[in-house]
């Protein structure tokens, strides 16, 4: 049976899912596992608050448990990693690894630079992210976060979003000493190449990072 990596967008935005799907195209190998992106149709418009994060956990567990038998890995495509540990626990009997894009994105960034800057969507997201970095034990490698002040639903305004992402990234590099950047929202996926070119430092798209880790695990049989 073909093996499949399922990437689940916890919000209901098909535009976000389409952006994620396009960003994962380079990881689709002719003889490798399939990568299938799914949208949680009954999810919120964006996972932006702690209540959104907490509320997404059990629906993600339930969705993961209904994935077909070809499921080789699961990626939770939201930078707050909602339900990550609960989904891991639920999928453990099937021996299916589960990846959160925040955890994966930050771990990837640590291999590309010494000081990581994160471009967030909202100021209210930053304390939640910092708690995650503290739990990971990596706070001393985090240069800081800078928000662009847009809701997930507003990221479809590409010109405005890119302008603010460049400004936030430049602040993190020049003022905070970041030498690698992470885009702190799955909805930013389509901006990675242009942002990296504009800022001249490595830029990590976290769903790509998580899917890359999943792909390695599947191919190596870990």
Q: How many domains does the chain have?
A: 2
Q: Specify whether 74 is located in the same domain as 113.
A: no
- Bridge partners (DSSP) listed for residue 54: none
Rg (CA), the chain: 16
Would you state the pLDDT for residue 49? 82
The closest alpha carbon to 183, from 126, 102, 123, belongs to: 102
Output DSSP code: residue 139.
G
pLDDT digits (tens, 9 = 90+) for 12-67: 888 889 999 999 999 999 889 999 999 988 766 677 788 888 888 999 999 999 99
Backbone angles phi, psi at 36, to 5 degrees: -120, 125
Kindly state whether residues 109 and 198 are assigned to the same domain: yes
DSSP code for 114: S
Structure-token match 């952006």, residue found = 19
172: exposed, middle or buried (C-beta count within 10 Å: 0-12, 13-18, 19+)? buried
119-172, pLDDT tens digit by residue?
A: 999 999 999 999 999 999 999 999 999 999 998 878 889 999 999 999 999 999
Structural domain span for residue 182: 103-205
Reported confidence tier of residue 2, pLDDT bands at 50, 70, 90: low
Angle, vertex CA 133, rays to CA 221 and CA 78, nearest 5: 65
Whether residue 93 sits in one domain with residue 146:
no
More confident residue, 107 or 151: 107
Q: Are residues 78 and 166 in the same domain?
A: no
């Amino acid at each position: 049976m073909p093996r499949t990596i399922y990437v689940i967008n916890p919000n209901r935005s098909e535009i976000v899912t389409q952006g994620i799907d396009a960003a994962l195209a380079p990881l689709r190998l002719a003889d490798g596992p399939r990568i299938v992106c799914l949208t949680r149709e009954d999810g919120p418009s964006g996972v932006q608050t702690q209540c959104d994060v907490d509320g997404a956990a059990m629906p993600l567990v339930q969705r993961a448990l209904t994935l077909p038998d070809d499921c080789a890995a699961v990626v939770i495509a939201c930078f707050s990693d909602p339900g990550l540990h609960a989904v891991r626990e639920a999928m453990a009997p099937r021996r299916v690894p589960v990846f959160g894009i925040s955890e994966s994105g930050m771990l990837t960034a640590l291999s590309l630079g010494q000081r990581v800057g994160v471009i967030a969507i909202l100021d209210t997201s930053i304390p939640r992210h910092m708690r995650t970095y503290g739990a990971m034990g990596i706070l001393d490698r985090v240069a800081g976060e800078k928000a662009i002040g847009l809701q997930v639903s507003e990221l479809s305004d590409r010109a405005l979003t890119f302008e603010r992402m460049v400004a936030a990234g430049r602040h993190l590099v020049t003022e905070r000493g970041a030498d690698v950047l992470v885009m702190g929202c799955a909805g930013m996926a389509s901006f990675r190449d242009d942002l990296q070119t504009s800022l001249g430092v490595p830029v990590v798209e976290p769903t790509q990072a998580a899917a890359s880790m999943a792909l390695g695990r599947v191919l190596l049989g870990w």
